[in-house]
Amino acid sequence: MKYGYFIKILLAFFLAFAPTQTFAKTIKWSMQGDSLTLDPHAQNEGPTTQVSRQVYEALVTRGLDMKIGPQLATEWRTQGPNTWIFKLREDVKFSDGTPFTSEDVVFSILRAKQRTSDFKEYISTVSGVKAVNDYTVEITTSKPNPILLNQLSNIFIMSKKWSEKNFAVMAQNWDAGQETFSATNAMGTGPFKITLREPNTKTVFKRNKKWWGTMKDDKVTEIHLLPIKNAATRVAALLSGEIDVVTDAPVQDLARIKNSPAHKVESTAQMRTIFLGMDQGADKLRTGNTGDNPFKKKAVRQALYQAIDIEAIKKKVMRGLSEPAGIITFPGVNGYTEELDKRLPYDVAAAKKLLADAGYPNGFEVELRCPNDRYVNDEAICTAVVGMLGKIGVKVNLFAQTKSKHFKELKDNQGDFYMLGWGVPTLDSHYVFHYLYESGASWNRVNFSNSDVDAAIRVMEGEVNLDKRNAAIAKAWKIVKDDISYLPLHHQVISWAAKKDVNVPIRPNNEPLFRFASFD
C-alpha cells in the first residue's frame, strides 16, 4: 500500500540524517537574548557587551580572575590628580589590517562621549583625551577619579579609518532606530571577527588571524551564537547536542543536565544582588488602597523584610543556588563585609506586630513590578514574595513584564514596589551609592535622600586617602542598612552548562571570553 512507501521514505530520511556530525572547531553558544546592536558604544547592556567583547578590545580589561590588566595599553601612570598617561601596545592591527595607533583611541573615547552614545554618563568625568605620539595617549578628568580604569575597561576601541570610511563616526542612535554600518558590522582588534550576523538568530565569529595575542586553544576557530528565548527549548538544544555551551542555564534544569553523561555544569556567585525597592518619596501609593504611603514608615519596611522567607526562596525557587543578602553588594567589592551582609531574621509574628504598630493592622494593597526575563527566576521570586507578604496581610498584585519595558517604566518613575538587580562592574561600593542611594540618582527609585550619605559619596569620589575613603563607605553602608531603604534578597549565582569536552571558563560577570576556551 501507499503507507509502505511513506514509511520507507520517512525511515530513509531518519537514517540518512541520524548520525549528527560535530565539528570540533566550532563552539555553539546560546543564551536567552541577543546583542541589540554591534555598535560598541550604542547600548550599555549585558548580551550586547558580551558580543562586542569578542571582537573589540579596550585599553585595559578584566582577566579571568576579574582583575584589571593591560590590553591595548601596556602601562599607565597618573600625572597629578587629574591626568593619566597610557602607553599603547605597538604590534596591534585591526582585523582589516590597519595598524592601531593613538588616533584610534582618541577617536573612540570621544565617540563614546557623544550624545548618541550610551556610555556618555559612564565616562562623564573624562574631560579630555589627546594623542601625545603614535603610541601614547593622555586622558584628563574633571576631578580625581579613582575608578577610571574600571570605566575604561568597558570603552571599546574602534578604528578611526574604518568608521570614517563607513560613515559610522557617530555612535548609532539606538533610541531613534538609526541604521548604521557599525550596527550590523563589527571590526576591532580582538581575537574574533564577525562574518555573519542575523539578529536574534545567528551570529558567526571567526578567528581574527591578525590578532596580537595567543589563543588558549588553537582548535577554537569559530563561535556561533544562537540565542534561544525559551528556557526549555534552550535546555533541549543543549541536551540534544545542538548547542555546546549555555551561559544562562535555568536553575531548575541543572540537575537534569548534570545527570547527562555528556554534559557538565559550573556555577559561580555572580556580581549581582537582587533586591526590592519601595518608593518612599511619593505621598500616596499609585497602586495602594490606604490613601497614604505606608513605605514612608521604617517599621512597615522592616515588616516586609521580616516576612520574606529567603531560605525558602533559596531552596525552592533558586534550588540552592543563591546567597541570601543583607546589603546590595557582594563579596569582592570594596566596602563589603560579612557583618553588613547578615539579614534580619525571618519572623512572621514580629512582622505582623510591626505592621500593626505602624497603623496597618489589616495590611494594605500594593503592586509589585517585576521583570520576567532579566534575572534568574525573577518572576518566580516575585510570585513567592506575593504569597509571603499575603501572610502578613499585605495584598500584593504582581505585574511582571519584559525587561526593557520594566526598566523603562521604572526610570519613568512608575513603580511603588519593584524588583531590581544591581551589579558592580567597578567592584567599588561607590557604584552602588552613586546610582541607588544618592539624592536624585538615576536608579534611586525609592527616592531615598540622606545628606550624610550624600556627603559620604562626595568623599568616595574625591578622597585619595584610602583609609578615609573606606571609612566613608562603611559609614554610608551603616546608615542605609539601618534605614532599610531597600529589601535585599540574595546575591545571584549563575550557572553555565556545557558539553563535557568544551571548556569555557565561567566568570562572575557572566561574560564569556572565548579566547580562553578550549577543547579536551
Partner 1 sequence: MVMLVVAFVSFSLFNFVGDPINNMVGEETSDEERAELRETLGLMDPIHVQFTKFIINASKGEFGISYQLRRPVSELIIERLPATIELVLISALIALVSGTLLGVYTGIKRKGFLSDFILAVSLLGVSLPTFVIGILFIYLFAVILGVLPSFGRGEVVDLGFWSTGFLTISGLKAIILPSVTLSLFQMTYIIRLVRAEMMEILQTDYIKFARARGINEKSINYKHALKNGLIPVITIAGINIGTLIAFSIITETVFQWPGMGFLFIQAVQFVDIPIMSAYLVFIAFVFVMINFIVDILYYFIDPRIRVKGDSASG
Partner 2 sequence: MDNKALTTWDKIKDSEIYFSFIKSPTAIVSSILLAIIFFCSFFVEFITPYNPFDPSSLSLMDAFTPPSWTSEGKVEFLLGTDGQGRDMLSTILYGSRISLIVGFSAILFSLILGVGLGLTAGFFGGKYEMIVMRLTDVQLTVPSILMALLVDGIARGIISRELHDEMAIYVLIFAIGISEWPQFARVSRAATLVEKNKDYVSASTIIGVSNFIVMFKHILPNIMRPVLVIGTIGLALAIIAEATLSFLGVGVPPTTPSLGTLIRLGNDFLFSGEWWITFFPAIFLVVLAFSINLLGDWMRDTLNPKLKK
Contacts with partner 1, residue ranges (CB under 8 A): 1-3, 6, 13-14, 17-18, 20, 36-37, 174-179, 198-202, 226, 228-230, 233-234, 236-237, 239-242, 402, 404-405, 408, 411-413, 442
Q: How far is the CB of 316 from partner 1 (least distance, A)?
A: 24
| Window 317 to 376, contacts with partner 2 (CB under 8 A) | 317
Q: How far is the CB of 298 from partner 2 (least distance, A)?
A: 24
How far, in Å, CA of 511 to CA of 226, rounded?
16
| Binding-site member from 34, 39, 104, 253 for partner 2 (CB under 8 A) | 253
How far, in Å, CA of 246 to CA of 42, rounded?
25
Helical H segments across 176-260, by residue range: 181-184, 231-239, 254-259
| Binding-site member from 332, 359, 361, 390 for partner 2 (CB under 8 A) | 390
Site size toward partner 2 (CB under 8 A) is 33
68 binds partner 2 (CB under 8 A): no
Sequential DSSP letters for 117-129: -TTTTTTTTEEEE
Q: How far is the CB of 307 from partner 1 (least distance, A)?
A: 31
316 binds partner 2 (CB under 8 A): yes
The answer to whether 61 and 69 have CB atoms below 8 angstroms apart is: yes
- Angstrom CA distances, 237 to 29, 240, 493, stand at 11, 5, 22
Q: Could you say which of partner 2, partner 1, none residue 447 binds, taking C-beta under 5 to 8 angstroms by partner kind?
A: none
Q: Which residues contact 438 (CB under 8 A, 6 or more apart)?
A: 444, 453, 454, 457
Nearer to partner 2 among residue 385 and residue 460 (C-beta)? 385
Nearest to 190 by CA among 170, 169, 208, 177: 208
Q: Which residues contact 276 (CB under 8 A, 6 or more apart)?
A: 304, 368, 385, 417, 418, 419, 420, 486, 487, 489
Q: Could you say which of partner 1, partner 2, none residue 255 binds, taking C-beta under 5 to 8 angstroms by partner kind?
A: partner 2
The one-letter amino acid at 520:
D
Number of helices (H), then strands (E), belonging to the chain: the values are 16, 19
| Binding-site member from 387, 439, 500, 501 for partner 2 (CB under 8 A) | 387
| Binding-site member from 40, 46, 227, 250 for partner 2 (CB under 8 A) | 250
Torsion angle defined by CA atoms of residues 362, 367, 372 and 374, in that order, rounded to the nearest 10 degrees: -100
Dihedral of alpha carbons 282, 288, 293, 294, sign:
negative
Nearer to partner 2 among residue 388 and residue 480 (C-beta)? 388
252 binds partner 2 (CB under 8 A): yes
| Window 396 to 425, contacts with partner 2 (CB under 8 A) | 396-400
- Taking CB under 8 A as the binding criterion, the range among 6-14, 145-153, 210-218, 386-394 that sits at the site for partner 2 is 386-394
| Binding-site member from 130, 219, 315, 408 for partner 2 (CB under 8 A) | 315
Q: How far is the CB of 402 from partner 1 (least distance, A)?
A: 6
Q: How far is the CB of 514 from partner 2 (least distance, A)?
A: 26
Q: What are 235's three cell numbers? A: 535546555
384 binds partner 2 (CB under 8 A): yes
Q: Over the range 96-123, which residues count as b (16 or more CB within 10 Å of their CB) and which as e?
A: eebebbbebbbbbbebbbeebbbbbebb
232 binds partner 2 (CB under 8 A): yes
Interface residue list for partner 2 (CB under 8 A): 230-232, 235-236, 239, 250, 252-253, 255-256, 287, 309, 312-313, 315-317, 380, 383-384, 386-391, 395-400
